[in-house]
Amino acid sequence: MSLDLETAARAAAAALNAGRGTAADCNTLGWYRALSGDAAGAAALFERALRMNPREVEAMLGLAGLHRSAGRLRDAALQCDAALAVAPDHAEVWLERAYVMAAGGVMDEAKRCYRAVLACSSPPAMTRAAADAGLAAIAARDGEAEAGRHHARAALAGDPGNTAALAALATIELEAGEPQTARDLVEPALARMEAPSPERMELLHALGDACNRLRDPAAAHAAYARAKQDFAAIHAATFAGRPPHRAFIAGIADALAATDVSAWPGIAPPASPPHIFVLGYPRSGNTLLENVLASLPGTAAIEEMPTLREADLAFLTEPAGLARFAQLDDAALATYRSAYWQRAGQALGRDPAGLALVDMDPLKSIRLPLIARLFPAARILLVRRDPRDVVWSCFRTSFALSNAAMDFTTLEGAALHYDALMRLTELALAKLPMAVLEVPYHRMVQDFDAMTREVCAFAGLAWSEDLRRFDRTARERGVSTASARQVRRGLFDGTRQWEPYAAYLEPVMPILAPWIEKLGYAS
């Protein structure tokens, strides 16, 4: 924080205390409070500025940043849109909107917003560099090496210490098979970064990936562990006092165990065209299967969107909710089905009628009781993978902010979260009327045609050689999950990646061992 801002903040506070402060004074003190870590105080000042002047763009921008940091992406986007309605050529607002879209995985819109920054008249040099860095990061994720290098170099020309540009270049070098070059890019920058920050976290993940490729598991584990510690520290205030996400899952399992489902109708004949849920657990191969199915003509896929939000809020947020859901009549259920299809259409950007709909979201396994009753004709594909690979991958992967992501900041937390969701899943499989096919990840990558033929026969889809071109599908439609790079590379056998890290997994083996045995990965 600069001394100039501190001085300006003191002057603004004095003016406000004396009763002669302006909206600009509120903004100045608000930014000071935000940078000092006082999010609540900053928000109050920005809101005060807007009461003084409802068209105060800086206040809207400040609130957008605070909302984004707290994971309230819809509120952040609304503040950006309000600011742009007042100042459509405001580069910093376009940049903030790009950050919001990227945080939500809406990468095409993030790219458009970054480009809008560059198209603004005379954007500040650091803002322009940040937009170039954002475009570099998206290009690196999408395998567009030439564009990524172009934007990364432009960013570094304007801001030599831009960590997002460095991370993008490191990713490009990793994709090009040059992990040592990637490591050499990020280590000097990390040596200059003393405090937890999103920027340091991003570089630490890049370092971990480089060390993993260099077969240096000790250095890779150390980098991933530091990155996760940074994630936990950055978001500690947001999650202070909240129970872990695994406790929420365990509560749903307890409620399901106590719920009488005997009056629920059985499994219905498959719809035509089919309605398919791809579930399982994060990092199990869900994104791979989603893009495989999305390669078929007449198929549309939704990627990790809250399509069941209305039912979630009504029935999964308090202990008695599932019991109330179990007693709903058909008219009440129709309301929640309608809300689902409306959200599905919004996610697709078109009416899903007449399309084979694939709704992919591994954590929708938590919603199996809702899915079973609302959509008895749906076909559920439950992707399974070696629990050790899953838990290790959740620990090493950089996830967007979510309740579950906080559980993944330690290996123990990830293992306990996995155990909680597997317990709920097994209970749902035993108790609920559902048409389910388990899809082992290793069979998808080692016996692709046979496994996908089995999937298509179960789901009511016609198998086609188009399924083999899922990498092209992923490039064309874009992938916003953490699996983007892997899926874009084509068929890749990611089994047994946990083995170099067996020593670090040893403390959580008592948690994972029953699932390793149950799912057939003990030998």
316 neighbors 252 (Cβ within 8 angstroms):
yes
Give the separation between CA 327 and CA 264, rounded to whole angstroms. Answer: 9
User: What is the model's pLDDT at position 70?
Assistant: 85
How many residues appear in the chain? 523
User: What is the model's pLDDT at position 318?
Assistant: 86
Based on the number of CB atoms within 10 Å of its own CB, is 210 exposed (0-12), middle (13-18) or buried (19 or more)? buried
What are the angstrom distances between the C-alpha of 140 and each of 134, 144, 152, 171? 10, 6, 10, 6
Give the separation between CA 104 and CA 503, rounded to whole angstroms. Answer: 35
Q: Residues 224, 294: one domain?
A: no
Angle between helices 198-213 and 163-175 (to 10 degrees): 20
Is residue 411 domain-resident? yes
Amino acid at 455: V
**CB count, 10 Å around CB of 154?**
20
Domain termination site, one of 238, 256, 281: 238
Q: Residues 143, 274: one domain?
A: no
Backbone angles phi, psi at 307, to 5 degrees: -70, -20
Give the separation between CA 64 and CA 47, rounded to whole angstroms. Answer: 11
Backbone angles phi, psi at 358, to 5 degrees: -110, 115
Amino acid at 453: R
Radius of gyration of the chain (CA): 24
Q: Which residue has the tokens 């831009």?
A: 162
Which tokens sit at 28?
Answer: 């100045």
Is residue 254 domain-resident? no
Is residue 341 domain-resident? no
**CB count, 10 Å around CB of 463?**
14
Domain interval for residue 169: 3-238
43 neighbors 59 (Cβ within 8 angstroms):
no
**What is the three-class DSSP state of 78?**
helix
Is residue 148 domain-resident? yes
User: What is the model's pLDDT at position 17?
Assistant: 93
Q: What is the pTM of this model?
A: 0.85
Is residue 86 domain-resident? yes
Domain termination site, one of 215, 238, 261: 238
Domain termination site, one of 218, 238, 258: 238
Is residue 426 domain-resident? yes
Q: Residues 220, 275: one domain?
A: no
Is residue 102 domain-resident? yes
Q: Residues 136, 222: one domain?
A: yes
Chain segment 422-476, per-residue pLDDT in tens: 999 999 999 999 999 999 999 999 999 999 999 999 999 999 998 888 777 656 6
Q: Residues 376, 294: one domain?
A: yes
Q: Residues 75, 199: one domain?
A: yes
End-to-end CA distance of the chain: 55
CATH number at residue 366: 3.40.50.300
Amino acid at 44: A
Q: Residues 492, 414: one domain?
A: yes
Which tokens sit at 109?
Answer: 């819109």
CA 254, chain centre distance (Å): 27
Which tokens sit at 395?
Answer: 């620990």
Chain segment 314-351, per-residue pLDDT in tens: 999 888 999 999 999 999 999 999 999 999 999 898 99
Q: Residues 363, 229: one domain?
A: no
Q: Residues 24, 126: one domain?
A: yes
CATH number at residue 103: 1.25.40.10
User: What is the model's pLDDT at position 494?
Assistant: 83
Q: Residues 93, 195: one domain?
A: yes
Residue-wise pLDDT tens for the chain (523 aa)? Answer: 566 888 999 999 999 999 999 999 999 999 999 998 899 999 999 999 999 999 999 999 999 999 998 888 999 999 999 999 999 999 999 999 999 999 887 889 999 999 999 999 999 999 999 999 999 999 998 889 999 999 999 999 999 989 999 999 999 999 999 999 999 999 999 999 999 998 899 999 999 999 999 999 999 999 999 999 999 999 998 889 999 999 999 999 999 999 999 999 999 999 999 999 999 999 999 999 998 999 999 999 999 999 999 999 999 988 899 999 999 999 999 999 999 999 999 989 899 999 999 999 999 999 999 999 999 999 999 999 999 999 999 999 999 888 899 999 999 999 999 999 999 999 999 999 999 999 999 999 999 999 999 999 999 999 999 888 877 765 665 555 554 555 555 567 889 999 999 999 999 999 999 999 999 999 8
Q: Residues 459, 411: one domain?
A: yes
As for how many domains the chain has, the answer is 2
Give the separation between CA 317 and CA 461, rounded to whole angstroms. Answer: 35
Q: Residues 11, 158: one domain?
A: yes
Is residue 317 domain-resident? no
Based on the number of CB atoms within 10 Å of its own CB, is 294 exposed (0-12), middle (13-18) or buried (19 or more)? buried
